[in-house]
Each structure stands twice: as structure tokens, then as C-alpha cells.
């Protein structure tokens, strides 16, 4: 056991508070010292202690919420862009199908055209996504 010297008023407060809580003076002092040390607080700055703890916790929670919202926005925006690109590709391929239907080629030719169009839609959607600057998209959201 080590000894620490405290002022008269502090000694009276330790005695009163430790008695009120049913602790020894040593237990009370140990707990008080650990409280400040574990939280990295300066015990002399009495007014800032609780405010510092509360503000640090609010900032930590705010950062977590903001990070979550950013991730949700990125996913939503990317899915909207993907859907828009696919819709545009479908419209372009539909026009090609209509043009080819007007040609006198028949059923088997139409089936081949539809297969080619599905492949083109997938390629156009993938190319549109690849052409986007995903890093810039992530920074904006």
C-alpha cells in the first residue's frame, strides 16, 4: 500500500463520501483515481469533465450514424443508376426489334435478334457502370 497526501478539506470529503457509500477511504480514492485515469480526464477541470464525456459520446454516435447513412445512400444511388442505364439499353434494343420486325425475316430470325438484344442490353448496362467514376460517386454521397 502506498500513501498519498491530500488537503484537509479533501480528506474530510473523502471521509464523508466513503462513509455514505459504505466504502473505505482507500476504496473510494482508488475508484476516483481510476475514474479519471480510464477516461483520460483532468480532475482539476471540474466543469469540463462531464461535458467532455458527453460530447465525445455524441460525436462517436454521430459519426456512426453519418457513416451508416452514407453507405445507404451510395447503395441506393448506384442501384438507381444501374436501373436507369438498363432501362435506356432496353429502350434502344426494343427499337431495334421493332425495326427488324418490319423486315420480312420470319420467326427464327426474330428469336436470334431477341437473344442478341438481351446480350447487348447486358453489355450496355455493364459498360455504362464501368464508364462511371465510382470513386467520384462515393465521394459525393
Q: What is the pLDDT of residues 3-16, one digit of tens each?
A: 888 889 888 999 99
- Binned at pLDDT 50, 70 and 90, residue 74 comes out as confident
What is residue 133's predicted lDDT score, i.e. its pLDDT?
63
Counting beta carbons within 10 angstroms of the beta carbon of residue 28, is it exposed (0 to 12), middle (13 to 18) or buried (19 or more)? buried
Contacts of 29 (CB under 8 A, 6+ apart): 4, 14
Contacts of 42 (CB under 8 A, 6+ apart): 36, 48, 49
What is residue 139's predicted lDDT score, i.e. its pLDDT?
58
Best-predicted range by mean pLDDT among 53-57, 62-66, 131-135?
A: 62-66
Backbone angles phi, psi at 45, to 5 degrees: -90, 75
What is residue 52's predicted lDDT score, i.e. its pLDDT?
72
In the chain, what's the furthest Cα-to-Cα distance? 108
Residues in the chain: 141
Amino acid at each position: 500500500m502506498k500513501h498519498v497526501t491530500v488537503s484537509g478539506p479533501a480528506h474530510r470529503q473523502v471521509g464523508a463520501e466513503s462513509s455514505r457509500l459504505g466504502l473505505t477511504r482507500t476504496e473510494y480514492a482508488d475508484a476516483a483515481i481510476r475514474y479519471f485515469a480510464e477516461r483520460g480526464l483532468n480532475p482539476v477541470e471540474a466543469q469540463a469533465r462531464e461535458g467532455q464525456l458527453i460530447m465525445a459520446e455524441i460525436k462517436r454516435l454521430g459519426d456512426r450514424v453519418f457513416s451508416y447513412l452514407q453507405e445507404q445512400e451510395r447503395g441506393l444511388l448506384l442501384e438507381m443508376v444501374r436501373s436507369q442505364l438498363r432501362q435506356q439499353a432496353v429502350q434502344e434494343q426494343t427499337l431495334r426489334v421493332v425495326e427488324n420486325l418490319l423486315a420480312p425475316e420470319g420467326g427464327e430470325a426474330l428469336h436470334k435478334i431477341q437473344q442478341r438484344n438481351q446480350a447487348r442490353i447486358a453489355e450496355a448496362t455493364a459498360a455504362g457502370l464501368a464508364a462511371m467514376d465510382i470513386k467520384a460517386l462515393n465521394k459525393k454521397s
